[in-house]
Amino acid sequence: MRQSPIKKRDPNLKRVLLSIFLCIPALAFCFRYTPYFFPIRTSDVARQRFHSVTFYDRHGHLLQEVLSESSTRSVHISIEQVSPYFLDAIIATEDKNFYRHGGVDYLAVLRALYKNFKSKQVVSGASTITLQLARLIHPRQRTLLNKVKEAFFAYRMEAGMEKEAILEEYINRLPMGGNLYGIESAAGTYFGIPSSDLTLTQATFLASIPNSPKRFNPYHHSKKIKKRQRIVLERMVMQGSIPRERIEGVLKEDILLKPQSSSFLAPHFVFHLMHTLPKDAQIVKTTIDVELQKMVSEQINKVLSRLNKYHVTNAAVLLLENDTGEVLAYLGSADYFDEETDGNFNGVRALRQPGSALKPFLYLLAMEEGFSPATLISDIPTHYRMPRGVYSPRNYSEDFHGPIRLREALANSLNIPAVRTLAKIGVDGFLHRLHEYGFTSLDKEAEHYGIGLALGGGEVTLYELSRAYMCLARMGAFYPIKEIMEINGIEQEIAEGKRGISTPQFNYLIADILGDAHARTAEFGFNSVLNLPFPCCVKTGTSFRFCDNWTVGFTRDYTLGIWVGNFDHTPMLKVSGVSGAGPMFADIMLMLYHDKRWPEKFPQPDGLVKVRICPLSGKKCNTYCSTSIEELIPARDVAAYEISSCDMHIQRGDETATVVPAKYRIWAEELGIETQLADYVEENKFQIANPKNGAVYHRLPNLASEFQSINFKLNCSRKDQRITWFLNEKPIQTTHQDHSFLWQIVPGDFILSVVSEEDEKRSSRVQFRVK
């Protein structure tokens, strides 16, 4: 039997393994002692300290003490000026062997490896103060390679800096919650004292924060920080810094924190500015008015407390001065420090759906293209074929108003007339106009938004929206928003961006409509919160599913924009613009004028003429019109007004006293039906006969559901046309000749609509419920 040869070990492999084994100590030696040839000095670290800037309001009041380039507050302090209690606490907690290792504590590393292996998860770390400082100077992702780089950097610091210098840089860079870095900033912000005056209680309280600044936020997690404070005190006892008897006494002491608002004024505004400043900026005088900022914050939180039960957690506000474009108040959220509601999120700059808040700009463009406040627009069931199905806009109230003038359509924020108007003037033109107003967030093609853009089918910011409304207040003159008055004592001017977008005549007409309390009574009532005791133009907006609501408006002096909602995009409980942001808008506007003369009306520009019209047709009254009202129209339309009289009130046969009812005529006209006589319209109407609008059905519990149904039936004079039926906007049936069928009932709220395939203008719609 043949035996296989015995394989001999390759002598070269032995040499390679031996070389590697011998190289490890050499590499370790080089890694440990090479840093002495490339030491990092205190002056090198000092160059990488936070660059500080001081912000003031327009009157010289301090907004934020010192801010760094990364939007963090930091004040550098010498280690001799820091309370010994804090130094002892931070060493005992973060690195008890700080004075005994050269940057890396190998005993701590071995102890951490053992604990983590035993627990099968990371339960202990081994970062020394020097390693943590390396990470604070050069933040990196937590990878093995980066940990090696941090260790090498730590060795270089230990080679070139004294222990006290390392500790000084460390305590001046410690994360202390929110945007605070360093012990001096923390002591001043939380207690209003210098770090040298910290008591044992205060020092151990602050030493508890760096372990997890978000989890141990002093303003929101006092119980958690107390538990951490006990650990800090226990470790100080183990180090021999304090006797054990002091622990309970320290923990029983009350911690009196300085109010947040006194230390952080307009934080969202300041952090926003940090990204726009030149590198040499040190003293910045902003346009903010501290007193107005405080007033706005108080009013917002007062209203939010009433809306909390409707799942409303946040709001954002921007107050502008119309003459200069300056920001007077900037509130990014109700409470910057509220972590549960993401209070540090900047709501002024957040992208949200504007709802109806874009309608004034749509109707302004429409008037430039031939519309006027007297133009009739049909508020009737309307359907559009879209790539994803049939789009059927609805009004907020679910009602239809038939023929309605543009003034009433905008004042009452009706959705259907807005969509019909956009369909006529074109989405491309409207989107281009919005870009002229500075809505750069609408960065998709017109096809992406479609006609839904009229109802806020895109995302904009409160900043953009308020700036555009300020342009309306300036009668079409666009001004960029001004936020800074001086940098390092040098006055700042806005040299670019001022331009005219539209003529004063059409801007005045929009302002006149937005300030017309009588025109909006159909939807908002006579006692609306929007009705202020002085001239004020205002518009509300509510997005899909009640995720956002807005109120934006202006007087001759101010433009005020308010957003209300939840930063996590969860819907509010049926809170609209008039019930959410509306009360805030009214309260702030009233406070703005509580000690000053009420604003005057906008002066009427040339090129507008006041005429008397029939309120139903929007045209010059004829013999049969029973009432008339005054309306403003552009001078260009006067000639057409003179030669065209009301065609809603007409003579019926030989009876001069009888007229065709206005609603029947307009509805029929839009549906393509002959409109000479009222009874002809009645006989030829196109509408769902069953179920009736508002009907409520009850499913019987003792009868199988397959034996319970509703007969859907359509009244239609032309039986030969094909009809598509939609239930909750989803197609369910197509009928021809016999326009009726049975639908098996299920519980719920339903909207039943029908559309003729030959003519989409022929449609009908009802709502019903099955319980």
Question: What single string gives the DSSP state of each residue in 679-746?
Answer: HHHHHT--EEEESPTTEEE---TTS-GGG-EEEEEEE-S-TTSEEEEEETTEEEEEEESS-EEEEE--
Residue 658: which pLDDT band, with cuts at 50, 70 and 90?
A: very low
CA distance 197 to 622: 86
HSE, side-chain direction, 13 A CA sphere, residue 337? 20
Residue 588: which pLDDT band, with cuts at 50, 70 and 90?
A: very high
Q: What angle in degrees, to the nearest 10, is found between the helix axes of 504-514 and 359-368?
A: 140
Strands 180-181 and 73-74: parallel
Work out the number of other CB atoms within 10 angstroms of the CB of residue 680.
15
Kindly report the length of the chain: 771
CB contact at 8 A, 462 and 318: yes
φ, ψ of residue 57 in degrees (nearest 5): -85, -175
| pLDDT at residue 669, as a whole number | 52
Token duo for residue 528: 């609306």
CB contact at 8 A, 63 and 70: no
CA distances from 705 to 690, 698, 700, 710, 770 (A): 20, 11, 8, 11, 12
Token duo for residue 739: 């326009």
CA distances from 205 to 176, 182, 351 (A): 11, 14, 38
DSSP 453: G
Please confirm whether the linkage preceding 691 is cis (ω < 30° from 0): yes
Over range 82-110, report the average pLDDT: 87
| pLDDT at residue 676, as a whole number | 37
Over range 568-591, report the average pLDDT: 90
Over range 674-695, report the average pLDDT: 59
CA distance 708 to 704: 7
Question: Closest Cα partner for 293 from 486, 61, 586?
Answer: 61
CA distance 170 to 176: 12
| pLDDT at residue 685, as a whole number | 61
CB contact at 8 A, 584 and 303: yes
Q: Find which of 101-110, 150-159, 501-510 is predicted with most confidence, using mean pLDDT.
A: 501-510
SS (H, E, C) 687-698: EEEECCCCEEEC
| pLDDT at residue 651, as a whole number | 61
Residue 673 has pLDDT above 60, yes or no: no
Q: 412-441: per-residue pLDDT in tens?
A: 999 999 999 999 999 999 999 999 999 999
CA distance 562 to 579: 12
Q: 147-188: per-residue pLDDT in tens?
A: 888 888 888 888 889 999 999 999 988 888 877 788 988 888
- Secondary structure (DSSP) of 273-310: HHTTS-TT--EEEES--HHHHHHHHHHHHHHHHHHGGG
CA distance 755 to 760: 6
| pLDDT at residue 736, as a whole number | 83
What b/e readout covers 415-432, taking b as 16+ CB neighbours within 10 angstroms?
A: bbbbbbbbeebebebbbe
- The per-residue pLDDT of the chain, averaged, comes to 85
Question: What is residue 11's three-state secondary structure?
Answer: helix
CA distance 286 to 277: 12
Q: What is the identity of the amino acid at 84?
A: P
- Secondary structure (DSSP) of 186-250: HHHHHTSS-GGG--HHHHHHHHTSTT-TTTT-TTT-HHHHHHHHHHHHHHHHHHTSS-TTHHHHH
Q: What percent of the chain has pLDDT over 70?
A: 85
CB contact at 8 A, 158 and 133: no
Over range 507-534, report the average pLDDT: 91
CA distance 730 to 733: 10
Residue 82 has pLDDT above 80, yes or no: yes
Q: 325-380: per-residue pLDDT in tens?
A: 999 999 999 988 787 888 889 999 999 999 999 999 999 999 999 999 999 998 88
CB contact at 8 A, 566 and 313: yes
| pLDDT at residue 415, as a whole number | 95
Strands 490-491 and 499-500: unpaired
| pLDDT at residue 243, as a whole number | 94
Q: 685-711: per-residue pLDDT in tens?
A: 678 888 888 777 777 665 566 667 788
Residue 674: which pLDDT band, with cuts at 50, 70 and 90?
A: very low
Cα angle 390, 391, 397; round to 5: 135
Better pLDDT: 657 or 463: 463
Residue 659 has pLDDT above 70, yes or no: no
CA distance 745 to 708: 6
Residue 397: which pLDDT band, with cuts at 50, 70 and 90?
A: confident
